[in-house]
Structure 1
Amino acid sequence: MRKEREISQEGLADAAGIERAHYGKIERGKVNVSFLNLLKIAKALNTDLSEIIKRARY
């Protein structure tokens, strides 16, 4: 979603209030993302949490 909207990792991390390095780890699947951070990311992307979950890769 981030790339589709042409938002940088840094831009999204800043908008969500998450450290850029930590956001990068979330995106690469290196760390587990908290529910709170999922909500922040959804808000920064102006989308529903359910949309993020639908697109998640396991």
Structure 2
Amino acid sequence: MELDDAVHTAVLTLKESFEGQMNENNIEIGIVNESGFRRLSPAEVKDYLANIV
């Protein structure tokens, strides 16, 4: 599974059980790879959220 697909699936899963409006300021998404852990910026989260509407 590609990274974009995995993040998209994670956001869809979160959305199913999230109460209220989900936006880039009230969720955090982290990615772990060979380089370590990093949290997506609010702008990156906003882009992923825009793709599921």
Fold-level similarity (TM above 0.5): no
Q: Which has the higher contact order (CA 8 A, sep 6+)?
A: 2
Tell me the TM-score normalised to structure 2 length.
0.31
Tell me the TM-score normalised to structure 1 length.
0.30
Greater share of helix residues, 1 or 2? 1
Greater share of strand residues, 1 or 2? 2
Structure whose alpha-carbon radius of gyration is higher: 2
